[in-house]
Amino acid sequence: MTYLDHLPERVGNLIRSRFVCEWATISKAGVPINSPLVPFVSEDLETIDCATGLAYPVKAERARRNPHVGMLFEGGAEDPVVSVGGFAAVRDSDLQANLERYLCEEILTTMLDPATTDYASVTRHALSYFTRIVVCVKPAVVRWWDSPAAMDEPPTEWRAPAGTVFPQSDPAPPGKMARAPWQEAPPWREIAASAISRNAPGHLTLTDADGFPLPTRARSVALTENGFDLRLPEWLPWSGGKATLSFEGAEILVGNVSLCGSHAKMTVDRALPLLPLMANPAEILHPKPETRQALMDRIAHELERRGAQLPVMPESPPEPTAGAQFRADAAFGYEGLSGIREE
């Protein structure tokens, strides 16, 4: 049996069918940092897996250093909301296998589906994107509500039984990560104003008593002189402290939060640097020459650390995994695949 056997079918189906989820790790300084990633369940359904680019490995390195991670799965107004705290295992010892797995998981999305997209022309220019580190998360605690409106009441909860064995990460490569080539972020108020002007949803992330960084969607976000006023669900998994407020992973503000019931005040310290692929999703598969060069330079550094070769794109489209087919079939009942920002 897996954790899915202990969840209602509609809750398990939401986890298995989403094309994006909020995904949070903890920095060396103890700051919970959330950015959306594409989730896909393992073949044996034991873990919920995600992948981040080898060109931007910091999320994976945070998870390797501190395996406590948090995930949030959301659907529409009548769908469940599912919060997962789990332990991460980083997989970066076989980058060719990671690339092929990620392709098999993504081959039915609108950006790759051979039925609508020229596979060769897309993948020829996207090696920097598909060279991936996979992170496998085995849930330790799963909480769910019947709908977003139900989050004013305590959730139903499942916890892994005592003695559960959690997977371990591959050994960390020697040396240090290359310095990120991204420009420093503009002033945080400029970042915040941009997010609010496009009505981007804001997800507030703090660390709970079990050490898991758990994101929660804010019901409203208002800009103040020193940060934000946020209205949150009545039930919250944490009680204040170091936090981030993430707007689709594009704008991420770091600071401290104090709570009074469902009202939160956040004092912002800084904004995190803007990753070009998040600031401009059109660059995910078609980066500008200067962006692509920066990505490939960092990949070269990470390959050298691992003593690895650059993986090779398969010449023809791979067969989708069972999970990819499940997500594609379920997409007709949700809000579609548009608007996904993924790092």
User: pLDDT tens digits, residue range 3-26?
Assistant: 999 999 999 999 999 999 999 999
- Phi/psi at 130 (5° precision): -85, -5
* Whether 108 contacts 328, CB under 8 Å: yes
Please state the pTM of the whole predicted model.
0.93
Burial of residue 163 (number of CB atoms within 10 Å: 0-12, 13-18, 19+):
exposed
Check which CATH number belongs to the domain holding 237 and give it.
2.30.110.10
Q: Tell me, yes or no, whether 146 lies in a domain.
A: yes
In a domain, 343, yes or no: no
How does pLDDT run along the chain (343 residues), one tens digit per residue? 899 999 999 999 999 999 999 999 999 999 999 999 999 999 999 999 999 999 999 999 999 999 999 999 999 999 999 999 999 999 999 999 999 999 999 999 888 888 888 888 888 778 888 999 999 999 999 999 999 999 999 999 999 999 999 999 999 999 999 887 776 788 999 999 999 999 999 999 999 999 999 999 999 999 999 999 999 999 999 999 999 999 999 999 999 999 999 999 999 999 998 776 666 666 666 677 888 888 899 999 999 999 999 999 999 999 999 999 999 998 854 343 333 333 3
Residue 339 lies in a domain: no
Residue 223: closest CA among 181, 180, 193, 261: 193
Amino acid residing at 287? P
Given a contact cutoff of 8 angstroms between Cβ atoms, the answer to whether 88 and 136 are in contact is: yes
Is residue 338 included in any domain, yes or no?
no
Residue 123 confidence (pLDDT):
82
| pLDDT value, residue 335 | 40
Q: Is 319 inside a domain boundary?
A: no
Q: Total domain count for the chain?
A: 1
Give Cβ neighbours of residue 244 (< 8 Å, ≥ 6 apart).
31, 32, 33, 34, 204, 205, 252, 253, 254, 255, 272
Q: Phi and psi for 195 in degrees, rounded to 5? A: -65, -45
Q: Which domain holds residue 55?
A: 3-309
Give the helix/strand (H/E) hosting 65: helix 58-65
Tell me whether residue 127 is in a domain: yes
Q: Is residue 314 part of a domain?
A: no
Are 83 and 293 in contact by the 8 Å Cβ rule? The answer is no
Question: Any idea which residue has 């090696």 for tokens?
Answer: 127
The pLDDT, as a whole number, for residue 281 is 63
pLDDT score recorded for residue 207 = 98
pLDDT at residue 57, as a whole number: 94
Asked if residue 329 belongs to a domain, the reply is: no
